[in-house]
Structure 1
Amino acid sequence: MIKAKGTYPTANGSKYLQQLCKHFAHKIDVEFTETDGTCTFPFGTAVLNATDAGLTVECDLEKAEQVEMFHNVIDKHLAKFAFRENFEAMTWS
């Protein structure tokens, strides 16, 4: 398994977590609260966590080629919601 973890420092972590989860729920299985979320993508399950300090997204992936795809899915969608903060990409590790 390959672990992908992204962080985004923002005071709006809970807001963005909920927006991402609501958006993804139109196509995949999603469960979420104001501070935690789980999104079951075809390539793996993403776990989201929001605190006063920011948003964290983690996913265990089976193949190395899925890492870039996962980063793009999260970053592309988060950019739509965090545009007022000039969001470009999460810090990935």
Structure 2
Amino acid sequence: MSVSVARVPTGSASRYLQQLAKHWSHKMAVSFTAEEGSIAFPNGSLLAMKADSDSLDLVLTVPEGEDEGRMREVVASHLDRFAFREAPLTFDWRAG
């Protein structure tokens, strides 16, 4: 397993967390509140999210054999789509 973490600066963290969770809830296991959420991908990856007033914290766990870079891009591109007014968001991905 590899773990990537990112802090995404935005004043709309809760809104983006909820939009992303709702967007993927029809095909993935999702749980969320206004402040926290998790998304389990079919490939075994797991995205945990936490929103506060000025940032969205992401923890992405990717199983061995899966493309970590691609999963980071999938998450970032979807969030950028929801944040079109302030996109592109800044994702400071690093090893967790």
Q: Which residue of 1 aligns with 2:92?
A: 91
In structure 2, runs of 5+ residues without a counterpart are: none
Considering fraction of residues, name the structure with more strand: 1
- The TM-score with structure 2 as length reference comes to 0.87
SS of the residue 1:84 aligns to: coil
* Aligned-pair CA distance for 1:17: 0.2
- The TM-score with structure 1 as length reference comes to 0.90
* Aligned-pair CA distance for 1:65: 4.8
Extract structure 1 runs of 4+ deviating beyond 4 A: none
Considering fraction of residues, name the structure with more helix: 1
Q: For the structure 1 residues 89 and 64, does the alpha-carbon distance in structure 2 shift closer, same or farther, using more than 3 Å as the test?
A: farther
Task: Name the amino acid aligned to 2:6.
Answer: G
Q: Which residue of 2 aligns with 1:27?
A: 27
SS of the residue 2:11 aligns to: coil
Same amino acid, percent of matched pairs: 33
SS of the residue 1:83 aligns to: coil
For 1:19 and 1:72, locate their aligned partners in 2 and report how far apart those are by CA, in whole Å: 17
Aligned length: 93
SS of the residue 2:74 aligns to: helix
Cα RMSD over matched residues? 1.5
Task: Name the amino acid aligned to 1:36.
Answer: E
